[in-house]
Amino acid sequence: MSQGELMTLRQPLYAALFLAIALPAWGFAADGQDAQPAEQGTPSAEQAGEAHLFGDIVSRTDGNPTLLSRPTRYSQWDTRFGWWGIWTRGSQAMTGEYQDMRSSPFFDVDGFSSDGNRTVGVTVTGTDNESTHGNLYYYKNGLTAKIDYERFPHQLNHDPLSNLVDVSDPSVQGSQVAPKFVKQDLNVGQNYVLRVQEIDASFKKNLTDDLKIRLDVWGIKKDGTRQVNAVAKCYSQTATTPPPIPGHPPLTLVGGRRCHLLSQAQQVDWINTEVKPVVEWRLGDAINIEYSRPMRNFSQNDDVTPRYYSAVGNLTYNATLAPSAFPYSVVDENYTQMDQLKIGCDITEDTRAYSYLMVGETVNTTNRMERYFNNVDVRVTNTSIQNVSITGYGTVFNEDESMPSNTFITSINQASLTTAPNNSRPTLANINAFLIHPANYQRATGGLKGVWRPWGGGYSRNGVAIVGGYEYCNLAREYSVFPLYTGGSSTVPTGYIDESKTVTHSFQIGPDWRISERCDTFLRYKYQNADQPLVGVHPFSGAVNTLLPEKDNLVEVGFNWVPSDWLVFNATLGYENGEHHQAYGPNQFQKINYSEENYPISFNLWYAATDRFSLSAGYAIFSNFIDQDISTADQLRYPGQANSAAPVTGRWNYGGRAQVITLGSQYTATNCLIFTGQIEWVRGNDAVSGSSMTFPGNVVVTDLGTYSAVVNETTRLTVGMDWKITPRIVNYYRYELYDFNDISPGYQTGTAQGILGGLSAYF
């Protein structure tokens, strides 16, 4: 980023920082002034808006809040202190994903203080050694400040890459046949974790009854270590013994050309910040205007992780000629700026309009790519027809992107570029000829939705509401006509696939019916038709794949039933079907055959056996099935290379299912003793149950889909007791069990148990 760009970005940040300091000072400056007694009577809108938060300092007559004749100081504080005893077994990657798994103190302080003019609220919570949450609320003289801070650890998985053979395995050394894929982990057994800190603050000042200004500040910092992998066919079969290559096994130990996967730790330091000044303006009773300018910046100070082979898979290390490493897993820095305008207007008593306008840009300061975008959204709601509400809307979103600079392309391919093209090293001209411009697009959407209540509103018996709508969407893309090189030459296109336009029609309708005061139900149907949804295209073979349906049908039905004050039951059932069957290419030789079905189902029950004992239960299941033709092809690197193997297509059957069962109870033994308990069991199963691909040479492969299998089971159990020692002191105990059973891939299984005991005091 140039110095000028830095100043352009920093100037609004400096102004925002000044406001963040000045706004609180504006309110604090009046703290030293003597508080004047408030007159008896109805408070202003501003006073009433704050006074109702503290019922003990207002008097309510006829439902209207009235300030006491003299400001009264009032405060309330709740404190809790305790200790967690923790026991763990196995991996902590999932059981301790967002918490520290060591025994630790627990504390929570929550309270506020007010004198009728100024109010301060504070909350501070420490759940373990590494996790803290706190927030601050302040109000005085029309200034409101809210600050929220949180810190916690984020455990990351360390993939052992157990499906690959290590480079030290004897089967690799000197072998010319198998295995062809080898791994090398430079940090075996290391735990990866990020420490996260987040702050979210908002400062608001009422300049007048109709004019308000606000400043929102947000930031998140993540630092720690993560696992980064890189793979390439980087070893030569005829390699001799060179000088030692840092972080790589000696070439003499690896026979034949190998796909070598390098894994190592990377120290990362990421900072995301956003500053958003906001102005709210009310014009009379009919028009509200809000302008805001979000400014977001991402920066990183990561360690460089090296590999000694280039992006095209050539070993580049030479102690004399090429001693420098080739970096990978580089996270790009960027910043985004937007201008937003919202306008709400009551045109008549029955008609209200809303509009949203936005323009912005995102600049990737690493590769110099820029993205420009704008949005216009207009909605009008009319209720002039009795028992009918109709909303018409239209929105247009545009996005344009630029290409990366030649300087950036050269820098990341410098190790593999050459002055003359050959079978292994391209020229810059080769790369530029093959680069595809990012797709610019315009999405124009218009629709109409409404609600009709034949017998009026409310929740009376036989109350019916018919909900429906229609939406049209035209998605136009630029740089989306893709050439195909399928005729034996990889320089002269034999045809094109045009994906410059997708038109979608959506329709939905369904009734809400309140059968009685204790039972209501709903039914929804939604249909969507997309003409030429986006597909992925391989330019040299014409192979196409997609997960986007042409036609989609969704049906949902549900009900809520409350037969008595001690029983509540609700259920929701759904079915969704999506399909895509279309031929592509100049001769319609490539076809998409894709179908998907989803089944979301949920049930919930609450039952109060007595006025002291209640039970709750829930069950939910989501099933997803996909049958699809998957096409694979040779991944040629750049134009000029001859075609090789023809694409291969096989039928894949995917099945995914998630189940959740919950049981809970609460028992009030006495007015001073309460017992609680809850258990939750979750099972997730995602796998390709069948896949068959016949490759050249009549090689049949049936196990490709098994490598994607993910099967997990989790059990969470919580048991607690609360004992009120005095009206202001409570003694509490908790036992928690979290068991994560990683059935597949199998390296994250772990169990954590914790016991918490402590006191809670109110004063």
CA 434/CA 38 separation, integer angstroms: 76
In this structure, are residues 58 and 65 in contact, taking their beta carbons and an 8 Å threshold?
Answer: yes
Query: Around 285, how many Cα atoms within 13 Å sit in the side-chain half-sphere?
Result: 2
CA 90/CA 747 separation, integer angstroms: 9
Q: What is the pLDDT of residues 144-198, one digit of tens each?
A: 999 999 999 999 999 998 888 887 777 766 555 556 778 889 899 899 999 999 9
Task: State the pLDDT at residue 39.
Answer: 37
CA 408/CA 4 separation, integer angstroms: 20
Q: Residue 668: which pLDDT band, with cuts at 50, 70 and 90? A: very high
Tell which wins on pLDDT, 105 or 434: 105
In this structure, are residues 82 and 106 in contact, taking their beta carbons and an 8 Å threshold?
Answer: yes
pLDDT (mean) for 493-510: 90
In this structure, are residues 117 and 44 in contact, taking their beta carbons and an 8 Å threshold?
Answer: no
Q: Residue 315: which pLDDT band, with cuts at 50, 70 and 90? A: low
CA 35/CA 47 separation, integer angstroms: 15
pLDDT (mean) for 361-386: 94
Tell which wins on pLDDT, 736 or 421: 736
Assigned token pair, 312? 């095209």
Task: State the pLDDT at residue 582.
Answer: 84
Task: Name the amino acid, one letter, at 256.
Answer: G
pTM exceeds 0.85 for this model = no
Task: State the pLDDT at residue 685.
Answer: 93
Tell which wins on pLDDT, 457 or 23: 457
In this structure, are residues 171 and 178 in contact, taking their beta carbons and an 8 Å threshold?
Answer: yes
Q: What is the pLDDT of residues 431-446, one digit of tens each?
A: 666 677 888 999 999 9
Name the most confidently modeled range: 47-61, 308-322, 339-353, 511-525.
339-353
In this structure, are residues 734 and 756 in contact, taking their beta carbons and an 8 Å threshold?
Answer: yes
pLDDT over 60 (residue 35)? no
Q: What percent of the chain has pLDDT over 90?
A: 54
Task: State the pLDDT at residue 326.
Answer: 74
Among 508, 515, 499, 480, which residue's Cα sits nearest to residue 548?
A: 499
Task: Strands of 402-538 (E only): list them.
Answer: 440-452, 463-478, 481-484, 495-498, 501-516, 519-531, 536-537
Tell which wins on pLDDT, 172 or 136: 136
Q: What is the pLDDT of residues 706-752, one digit of tens each?
A: 777 899 999 999 999 999 999 999 999 999 999 999 998 888 999 99
Return the residue matching tokens 């109870």: 665
pLDDT (mean) for 192-220: 96
Tell which wins on pLDDT, 535 or 360: 360
In this structure, are residues 338 and 315 in contact, taking their beta carbons and an 8 Å threshold?
Answer: no
Tell which wins on pLDDT, 113 or 745: 113
Give buried/exposed letters for 719-757 (b at 16+ CB in 10 A, else e).
Answer: bbbbebeeeeebbbebbbbbbbbbeebeebbbbbbbbbe
Q: Residue 323: which pLDDT band, with cuts at 50, 70 and 90? A: low
